[in-house]
Amino acid sequence: MAERDMDRSVSQTVRAQLTLRDMILSGGLRPGERISELQAVETTGASRTPVRMALVRLEEEGLLEAIPSGGFMVKAFSERDIVDAIEMRGTLEGLAARFAAERGVSVRDLEPLKECLDEIDGLVRQDPISVDAFSAYVALNARFHALLTELSRSPPLIRQIDRASALPFASPSGFVMAQSALPEAHQILLIAQDQHRVVIDAIENREGARAEAIMREHARLAARNLRLALRNKTHIDLLPGLALIKTVAD
C-alpha cells in the first residue's frame, strides 16, 4: 500500500472511491461491517478528507449506509431486494423505450443498436456457448442496454437508470447472469435476443406502448429467472455484487 500507482490525472477522491467500491463488491468488506476511516486511509493511500468524500459518494450510490452515531457501514441486501432492483431497472428502461418511440428516432440512430444485435446473433448461434463468447455477449448486451437508454434523449431518465445500475446486480450484467444461470440458459438467451429485436422494431414503427411492454416483459423474465436461480442455487456465483447479499442460504 506504500507505492501504489499515483496517477495524478485523477483526484484522490475518485481513486479512493474506486478502491473502496472494489473492496466492497469483491467482498473484502462484509455487509453490515462498519468502515473505519483510518483503515480506509491506510488501504487507499489518500488522506482523510478525500476518503470521507468518497464515503459520502458511495453512500449516495447505495453501497454504504450511514450509521446514526456516525460513520458508515456496508449495506446489506436481501435476495428480494435484488429481484426488485432488476424489475425497477427494467421498468425504467421500458419508459426509455417508450420515449424513444414517441420522440421519434431516425434510422441512423438505430443503426448502432442493430449492429449490436447482429453481433450478438453471431455469438448465441453456438449452443454450448464458449467462455470467451459469453463474456463478449455480456459486453455487447451492456452496450445494447446503454444505447437504448441513450435513445430516450431524456437526461433525467438516463441519470436515474444509471443510478439504478449502480447496484451491481441490477446492471445489465446482472440481467445477463439472471438469464444465464439456469439449465435452459441458451434458450433464454435466444428469447432475450428476440425481445431486443422486437423492441427495436416497435421503436422504429413509433409504437411506444408496445416498446415499453416488451421491455417490461424482458425485465420480468430476467427477474423470474433470477428468482429461480437463487432458489436452485445454480451459478449464482456469477451474479455481480453477490458479496452484498445478506444470506445466500435462505
Partner DNA sequence: TGAACACATGTTGTATACAATTTTGCCAAC
Partner DNA sequence: GTTGGCAAAATTGTATACAACATGTGTTCA
Dist CA 224 CA 36 (whole Å): 38
35 vs 82 by CB, closer to DNA? 35
Query: Judged by CB, which is closer to a copy of itself: 75, or 145?
Result: 75
Which partner, a copy of itself, DNA, none, binds residue 128 by CB below 5 to 8 Å per kind?
A: none
Asked if 160 is part of the footprint of a copy of itself (rule: CB under 8 A), the reply reads yes
Residue 154, binding choice from a copy of itself, DNA, none, Cβ under 5 to 8 Å by partner class = a copy of itself
Contact 148, 195 (CB under 8 A): no
Strands 34-35 and 72-74 come out as antiparallel
Task: Give the separation between CA 193 and CA 186, rounded to whole angstroms.
Answer: 11
Write the interaction track for DNA spanning residues 15-34; mark x where CB under 7 A is met and - where it is not. -------------------x
Nearest to DNA of 56, 238 (CB atom): 56
7 φ/ψ angles, rounded to the nearest 5 degrees = -75, 105
**Measured distance CA(187)–CA(132) in Å, rounded:** 19
Listed in sequence order, the residues at least 6 apart from 157 whose beta carbon sits closer than 8 Å to its beta carbon are 92, 95, 96, 99, 149
The contact pattern for DNA, residues 63-102, with x = CB under 7 A and - = no contact, is ----x-xxx-------------------------------
For DNA, the binding residues in 45-64 under the rule CB under 7 A are 46-50, 52-53
Residues that bind DNA (CB under 7 A): 8, 11-13, 34-38, 46-50, 52-53, 67, 69-71
